[in-house]
Amino acid sequence: SPVIVRGMIIDEENKEPVIGAAVVIDGTNKGVATNVDGQFALKLPPDTSLVISYIGCKDKKVRVSSLLHSDNNVIVLEVSELSGLSCIVGGVVTVLNYDDVYGHRTYKPKSHKEKNKKKCK
Protein backbone atom coordinates (compact mmCIF):
# COMPACT_ATOMS: atom_id res chain seq x y z
CA SER A 1 0.00 0.00 0.00
CA PRO A 2 1.17 3.57 -0.66
CA VAL A 3 3.18 5.40 1.98
CA ILE A 4 3.77 9.09 2.60
CA VAL A 5 7.42 10.06 2.31
CA ARG A 6 8.67 13.39 3.62
CA GLY A 7 12.08 14.90 3.27
CA MET A 8 14.23 17.97 2.94
CA ILE A 9 16.65 18.75 0.11
CA ILE A 10 19.83 20.73 0.85
CA ASP A 11 22.88 21.52 -1.26
CA GLU A 12 26.29 20.20 -0.29
CA GLU A 13 28.17 23.51 -0.53
CA ASN A 14 26.33 25.68 1.98
CA LYS A 15 23.85 23.20 3.51
CA GLU A 16 20.98 25.54 2.59
CA PRO A 17 17.51 24.26 1.59
CA VAL A 18 17.03 23.84 -2.15
CA ILE A 19 13.86 25.71 -3.10
CA GLY A 20 11.98 24.41 -6.14
CA ALA A 21 13.91 21.16 -6.61
CA ALA A 22 11.97 18.58 -8.63
CA VAL A 23 11.16 15.41 -6.67
CA VAL A 24 9.78 12.93 -9.21
CA ILE A 25 8.75 9.28 -8.97
CA ASP A 26 11.31 7.42 -11.07
CA GLY A 27 10.03 6.45 -14.51
CA THR A 28 7.05 8.81 -14.36
CA ASN A 29 6.30 12.48 -14.73
CA LYS A 30 4.57 12.60 -11.33
CA GLY A 31 6.15 14.53 -8.53
CA VAL A 32 6.37 17.74 -6.56
CA ALA A 33 8.65 20.73 -6.12
CA THR A 34 10.27 21.47 -2.78
CA ASN A 35 8.87 24.40 -0.81
CA VAL A 36 10.71 27.47 0.53
CA ASP A 37 12.21 25.31 3.28
CA GLY A 38 13.41 22.65 0.81
CA GLN A 39 10.77 20.20 2.05
CA PHE A 40 8.56 17.81 0.13
CA ALA A 41 5.93 15.14 0.79
CA LEU A 42 4.73 12.46 -1.61
CA LYS A 43 2.37 9.50 -1.40
CA LEU A 44 3.78 6.56 -3.36
CA PRO A 45 4.48 2.81 -3.30
CA PRO A 46 7.37 1.80 -1.00
CA ASP A 47 9.11 -0.21 -3.73
CA THR A 48 9.81 2.79 -5.97
CA SER A 49 12.56 5.36 -6.25
CA LEU A 50 12.61 9.15 -6.32
CA VAL A 51 14.72 11.24 -8.65
CA ILE A 52 15.65 14.64 -7.27
CA SER A 53 16.92 17.27 -9.69
CA TYR A 54 17.81 20.92 -9.60
CA ILE A 55 19.67 23.26 -11.96
CA GLY A 56 23.37 23.28 -11.12
CA CYS A 57 23.22 20.00 -9.18
CA LYS A 58 23.65 16.35 -10.11
CA ASP A 59 20.42 14.35 -10.23
CA LYS A 60 20.08 12.03 -7.25
CA LYS A 61 18.15 8.77 -7.19
CA VAL A 62 16.89 7.60 -3.78
CA ARG A 63 15.03 4.38 -2.90
CA VAL A 64 11.79 5.13 -1.06
CA SER A 65 12.43 2.18 1.28
CA SER A 66 15.53 3.98 2.61
CA LEU A 67 13.37 6.95 3.61
CA LEU A 68 10.71 5.02 5.52
CA HIS A 69 12.63 4.52 8.77
CA SER A 70 13.32 8.14 9.62
CA ASP A 71 11.30 11.27 10.31
CA ASN A 72 14.29 13.46 9.48
CA ASN A 73 15.10 12.62 5.86
CA VAL A 74 17.71 15.07 4.61
CA ILE A 75 18.90 14.49 1.06
CA VAL A 76 22.05 16.30 -0.04
CA LEU A 77 22.39 17.31 -3.69
CA GLU A 78 25.91 17.44 -5.09
CA VAL A 79 26.99 20.40 -7.16
CA SER A 80 27.45 19.62 -10.85
CA GLU A 81 30.92 19.91 -12.42
CA LEU A 82 29.57 22.66 -14.68
CA SER A 83 28.24 24.75 -11.83
CA GLY A 84 31.67 26.33 -11.38
CA LEU A 85 30.95 28.21 -14.58
CA SER A 86 28.93 31.36 -14.32
CA CYS A 87 25.48 31.09 -15.73
CA ILE A 88 24.53 34.36 -17.35
CA VAL A 89 20.92 34.78 -18.28
CA GLY A 90 20.09 37.73 -20.45
CA GLY A 91 18.79 38.89 -23.73
CA VAL A 92 19.17 41.46 -26.44
CA VAL A 93 16.47 43.65 -27.88
CA THR A 94 17.08 45.27 -31.24
CA VAL A 95 14.89 48.00 -32.64
CA LEU A 96 14.96 48.23 -36.42
CA ASN A 97 13.67 51.00 -38.59
CA TYR A 98 11.29 49.74 -41.28
CA ASP A 99 13.15 51.78 -43.91
CA ASP A 100 16.44 50.10 -43.00
CA VAL A 101 14.95 46.64 -43.40
CA TYR A 102 12.92 47.13 -46.57
CA GLY A 103 14.86 49.98 -48.18
CA HIS A 104 11.92 52.24 -48.90
CA ARG A 105 10.17 55.01 -47.14
CA THR A 106 7.03 54.40 -45.13
CA TYR A 107 4.35 57.02 -45.08
CA LYS A 108 2.36 58.00 -42.08
CA PRO A 109 -1.33 57.41 -42.72
CA LYS A 110 -3.36 60.58 -42.83
CA SER A 111 -6.06 61.21 -40.33
CA HIS A 112 -9.72 61.15 -41.32
CA LYS A 113 -9.85 64.95 -41.05
CA GLU A 114 -6.91 65.40 -43.45
CA LYS A 115 -8.48 63.07 -46.03
CA ASN A 116 -11.84 64.89 -45.89
CA LYS A 117 -10.21 68.34 -46.02
CA LYS A 118 -8.74 67.60 -49.47
CA LYS A 119 -12.04 66.26 -50.80
CA CYS A 120 -13.98 69.34 -49.67
CA LYS A 121 -11.75 71.90 -51.46
pLDDT tens digits for 16-54? 999 999 999 999 999 999 999 999 999 999 899 999 999
Q: How many CB atoms lie within 10 A of CB 7?
A: 21
Is residue 57 a contact partner of residue 83, using CB atoms and an 8 Å limit?
yes
Predicted TM-score (pTM) above 0.85: no
Q: How many CB atoms lie within 10 A of CB 21?
A: 25
Q: What is the pLDDT of residues 57-96, one digit of tens each?
A: 889 999 998 888 777 788 888 887 665 544 444 455 555 5
Domains and CATH numbers, the chain: 3-80 (2.60.40.1120)
Determine which helix (DSSP H) or strand (DSSP E) holds 115, and give its type and residue range.
helix 112-120
